[in-house]
Structure 1
Amino acid sequence: MSLKSDKTKKLIIDTLVKLMGEKDFDKITVKDLTDALDINRGTFYLHYKDKYDLLEQIENEILGEINEIVVTSQKKLTSGFIFPANEEAVLNTFISIYRYINENADFMKIILGPNGDLSFQMKIRNLVEDWLVLNVPVSDAAEKLPIKYLAAIASSAQLGIIQKWLKSGMKETPEELASFVRDIISSIYKGVIKDLIENPYYNKKD
């Protein structure tokens, strides 16, 4: 995250992450945060309305920066979206995303873990679904494919991979994980989706 312009805000964020590693967010109070930091409540309220505003600002920045990674990748292409034709672009995009998660691992482990925010996990899934629904190219013969359902499966799988990676100690490098995910995406698109496209049901005339 790039919330580093204000030292106090950075300390508040770091303290929230530490406390969320110890107990559920619902049980954390502003007093817990200010006591841990040895600051008065007024200082906290100069930056945030309440603990929910604090968490929302952090989450929104994460979502914005992950989205920016994908937008930047798209801008580098001369035509089309990164998925699935350009496997190199797919790989580089996932490497950038996983590097970002790795750089912010302390918070990501918490927010995507058992004491995390389920609504944030839903936002991550929705973000991935939106990318896929809008950008997966389909032929005329495949217009009837239930892309929205395939996107839902893919987004849940992506979130699960990230959670597993974080929980297992991130033994794979971002590059290794990205390569693995790229290969899965390629196999699914060339196998499952290709089979669906060639299925007579999706090619029949209305």
Structure 2
Amino acid sequence: MNKKEIKSAKTKEKLCNAFIELYKEKPIEKISVKEITDAAGYNRATFYIYYKDIYDVLESIENRLLQFYETNLNNLVEGTLEKISPASFDFLKIITDFYHSNEKEFPILMTKDINFLNSVKKIAKQALLHRQSPVFFNDYGEIEYIIEYQLSAVIGVLNAWIAKKQDISFEKLSALIFQMSKTGVLTTINDKWNG
């Protein structure tokens, strides 16, 4: 990248960061371009060089995150010789690592934007089903419910962790998610109560 491209990328990043900080605190309808530019240290004209409106900023952030997420899941699928399953630790690790490595933006979007949440689930489902032959499934409808259950559980736990201000370490949380995914919720609860 040349100097102009680097400067442009930094400006966009500052505008996106300012938007995310405001979006944490209020609905998108209540955010103004002036608030974003003031927080980022730019003027309104600079904002409009890069974005047509506030929704364009949100879409830009979402598209970047979804593309990164989809690439990582596809790389996992392509690198897996055997069928990938919802219980795969690699699969769960990608979701938890992605959440953790993008914790400034991802948790906010997952809790405030149902379309983003649904896109994340859709990408994960496609990755999980990618290597499966339709004849592999006894009942495709049931498989979809199982995958939805697993994805919703992992995402729900990650959202709760963010809401509780990350009260346990990410490593401990990941281990708990993997344990519940492997042995089931009831077994995990029983082990914790009796352990």
TM-score range, shorter chain: 0.7 to 0.9
Greater helix share, 1 or 2? 2
- Take 2:109 and 2:150, find their aligned partners in 1: how far apart are those partners? 20
Match of residue 82, structure 2, among 69, 73, 80:
80
SS in 2 for 1:110: helix
Of 92, 95, 120 in structure 2, the residue corresponding to residue 94 of structure 1 is: 92
Structure 1 pair 140–38 and aligned structure 2 pair: CA distance change class (3 A) = closer
Pick aligned residue for 2:110 from 107, 112, 125? 112
Tell which deviates more after alignment, 4-13 or 45-54: 4-13
Distance 2:7 2:170 in 1: 24
Q: 1:1-206 counterparts in 2 under 5 A?
A: 6-77=9-80, 79-83=81-85, 90-113=88-111, 116-135=112-131, 142-143=138-139, 146-187=142-183
Larger deviation: 178-187 or 101-110?
Answer: 178-187
- With over 3 angstroms needed to count, the CA separation of the structure-2 counterparts of 1:49 and 1:145, relative to structure 1, is closer
Aligned equivalents of 2:94, 2:38: Cα separation in 1: 37
The structure whose RCO (Cα within 8 Å, separation 6+) is larger is 1
Q: Distance in 1 between matches of 2:7 and 2:133?
A: 39
Normalising by structure 2, we get a TM-score of: 0.75
Supply the distance in 2 between the matched residues of 1:73 and 1:12 (Cα, whole angstroms).
32
Q: Distance in 2 between matches of 1:187 and 1:137?
A: 26
Gaps of 5+ in 2: 1-5, 185-195
Q: SS at 1:106's partner residue?
A: coil
What is the distance in 2 between the residues matched to 1:28 and 1:155? Answer: 31
CA gap 1:140/1:59 in 2 versus in 1, 3 angstroms: closer
Local SS of the residue matching 1:121: helix
Does the CA-based 8 Å contact 1:112-1:121 persist in structure 2? yes
Q: When the two structures are superposed, what TM-score results if normalisation uses the length of structure 1?
A: 0.72
Q: Counterparts of 2:116 and 2:181 in 1: how far apart (Å)?
A: 24
Question: CA separation in 2, counterparts of 1:168 and 1:127?
Answer: 27
Unaligned runs of 5+ in 1: 189-206
Contact 2:24/2:108 (<8 A) preserved: yes
Relative to structure 1, the CA distance from residue 92 to residue 148 in structure 2 (aligned partners, 3 Å threshold; closer, same or farther) is closer
Distance change (3 Å), C-alpha of 1:75 and 1:128? closer
Identity, % of aligned positions: 27
What is the one-letter code of the residue matched to 1:176?
K
Cα deviation per residue 1:145-174 (whole Å; 9 max; x = unaligned)? Answer: 622222222222222122112112223444
